[in-house]
Chain A
Amino acid sequence: MINFENVSMEYRNGTAAVNNVTLKIEDGEFVFLVGHSGAGKTTLTKLMICEERVSSGKLEVNGYHLEKIHSWSIPKLRRTMGVVFQDFKLFDKMTVYENVAFAMRVVGAKPSLIRKRVPFFLDVVGLSLKADSFPNELSGGEQQRVAFARALVNNPHTVIADEPTGNVDVDLTEDIMELLLKINKLGKTVIVVTHDMNIVNSYKKRVVRIEQGEIVSDKTGGDFEQ
């Protein structure tokens, strides 16, 4: 469960990116987080993985109280979250397989488990045949899917995708959305950050809109203006 209670956050340079946000996301939910560029969407996801700390208010994520979390608990919190970053940071000197395996290695997974799980998740995202390719040999959409496999491979409780359809065409967008729904069906909480209203409108899911750091609407289904 993710629970924001009157959370505000200010960057060190004084930018108030999140203002008094109250938002509750239950386990197993599928939520769109929408808003204009600079609205504070990425900042909200950063708060959830404790990359940034809340300035005031309370924030609970998967049982951790982030307003008072100890630095040594932060790695444990992050292992419950699988994030596909907006700039998805694949490593160009590692193959697709190694990119995914790296996410497991750094949390100390056993090699036997890595050998089992990586091919499985490459299969889930439909990239089994590209395991030995390097990122620069892949299309934008394929790279995006590698990032998904990497976010999923540690079996996180919650998956956050920041602009997963940012630079892919309509067909691929559908593929990726199908993938996200599949992940959600596996029982994981899924949060999709986007400003593409067409996607939002074609899936009747909960939509949270944020503007200038404040939540301005929170409803399920319906038609949304761009």
Chain B
Amino acid sequence: MKPSTFFYNIGQGFKGIFRNSVMTVASVLVLVACMILVGTFYIVIDTIDRNFKAINDLNVIEVKLSKDYSDDQVAQIGKALEEICRSSPIIDDMPVFVSADEHGERMKEMFDDAGWIDEIIKSGNPLRASYRLEFRNFSDFDEVTRVRNRIDSITITDESGAQTDGVDSKDIKDYIELYGTVMSVKNTLYIAGIWLLAILLIISLFVIMNTIKLGVFARRNEITFMRLCGATKAMIRMPFMVEGIIIGIFSAALAFGIEYYLFKYLLTDIVRSATSNATGSADIILGEFSEYALPLGIGFLAIGLFAGIVSSGISLKKYLKA
């Protein structure tokens, strides 16, 4: 396509925008609503992820070992845990053994080397040794539960050679319940986001399609004439595509601006007021808008271009028979 033809079609596309301004505004509004919704879901889900990552030990299972166990029995449990780690897709590393003394050291660190802790530990360490297993963050919750159940059913041979329960349920320390809650909130948001995106996108497509169809109808004689003159399909389609693309790009820009203000003022305020009521340790970590700018920009543009191109393509189909 020659540059002159290209610019002619761009001009025609802009004319189309103003031919039916009410419908154009309607198209932009639905599309912007669609984009902002998707953008906000994206930011919220990402914020959950961020905070989830920041909570220590949420993805750790700690198996406390009874003080009555012999070294051999402890080793048996270790073997069994290694086997579990090896066969589970969500665990990458082998279990780590943490002795009672090491636990004592940690305890001291936690309380800033308070002398009384030293006293307690020296007079017979009450802390128990343990194995630490770490599963990958954001793993499938069912698999996490499965791992936990397998740990619970580990058996060992006692002195008399009989099989007994190796790990008591109450000796498995974890945050699996919390983990499950966070995961299910995240999944719900995720699924709701996808559905809303789909529904709003379809509505946007319909509205833009109708906008462009009005233009196509107003110009049906021109289109017929163009065809009979020997205009190619691309040439006939171009002005309407341009119209759709302009609507898409403009909506993306508008949505981006609105999303910025939503993030900067609304979301930040909400988080601040939520955390100021809570105890200091429960601060919600919020990303910077600049981190979201690129994915949001690309996402919005993609939605806008998709909606614009697809809907203009569909609107013209009927008029493009050879």
- Nearest residue, chain A, Cβ from B236: A106
Q: Which residues of chain B are near A105, meaning CB under 8 Å?
A: 5, 8
Contact of A106 among B1, B229, B322 (CB under 8 A): B229
Contact of B229 among A71, A103, A111 (CB under 8 A): A103
Contact code string A97-126 (vs B, CB < 8 Å = 1, else 0): 000001101111011000000000000000
Is the CB of A8 closer than 8 A to any CB of chain B? no
Interface size on A, residues (CB 8 A): 25
Distance in angstroms between the alpha carbons of A106 and B1 in the assembled complex: 11
Is the CB of B278 closer than 8 A to any CB of chain A? no
Distance in angstroms between the alpha carbons of A50 and B229 in the assembled complex: 11
| Given the contacts A50-B322, A89-B221, A91-B221, A107 and B230 also touching, CB distance less than 8 Å | yes
Minimum CB–CB distance from B229 to chain A (whole Å) comes to 5
8 A Cβ contacts from A64-78 to B: 71-72, 74-78
Minimum CB–CB distance from B14 to chain A (whole Å) comes to 16
Q: Is the CB of B229 within 8 A of A154?
A: yes
Q: Which residues of chain A are near B235, meaning CB under 8 Å?
A: 106-108
Q: Which residues of chain A are near B1, meaning CB under 8 Å?
A: 108
Is the CB of A205 closer than 8 A to any CB of chain B? no
Contact code string B194-228 (vs A, CB < 8 Å = 1, else 0): 00000000000000000000000000011011111
Q: Which residues of chain A are near B222, meaning CB under 8 Å?
A: 91, 102
Scoring A77, A106, A154 by chain B CB atoms within 10 A of each residue's CB, the highest score goes to A106
Minimum CB–CB distance from A73 to chain B (whole Å) comes to 9
Is the CB of A206 closer than 8 A to any CB of chain B? no
Is the CB of B318 closer than 8 A to any CB of chain A? no
- Nearest residue, chain A, Cβ from B320: A71
Q: Is the CB of B221 within 8 A of A110?
A: no
Q: Is the CB of A107 within 8 A of B4?
A: no
Q: Which residues of chain B are near A107, meaning CB under 8 Å?
A: 229-231, 235
Is the CB of A79 closer than 8 A to any CB of chain B? yes
Q: Which residues of chain A are near B230, meaning CB under 8 Å?
A: 74-79, 81, 106-107, 154
Is the CB of B170 closer than 8 A to any CB of chain A? no
Q: Is the CB of B4 within 8 A of A78?
A: no
Is the CB of A51 closer than 8 A to any CB of chain B? yes
Contact of A108 among B2, B227, B228, B233 (CB under 8 A): B2
Is the CB of B232 closer than 8 A to any CB of chain A? yes
Is the CB of A49 closer than 8 A to any CB of chain B? yes
Q: Which residues of chain B are near A77, meaning CB under 8 Å?
A: 230
Distance in angstroms between the alpha carbons of A75 and B235 in the assembled complex: 11
Q: Which residues of chain A are near B224, meaning CB under 8 Å?
A: 89
8 A Cβ contacts from B222-261 to A: 222, 224-233, 235-236
Is the CB of A21 closer than 8 A to any CB of chain B? no
Q: Is the CB of B231 within 8 A of A106?
A: yes
Distance in angstroms between the alpha carbons of A155 and B230 in the assembled complex: 13
Is the CB of A83 closer than 8 A to any CB of chain B? yes
Q: Is the CB of B2 within 8 A of A74?
A: no
Distance in angstroms between the alpha carbons of A154 and B8 in the assembled complex: 18
Top 9 closest pairs, chain A to chain B, by CB: A78-B230, A79-B230, A106-B231, A71-B322, A75-B230, A106-B226, A108-B5, A75-B232, A74-B322
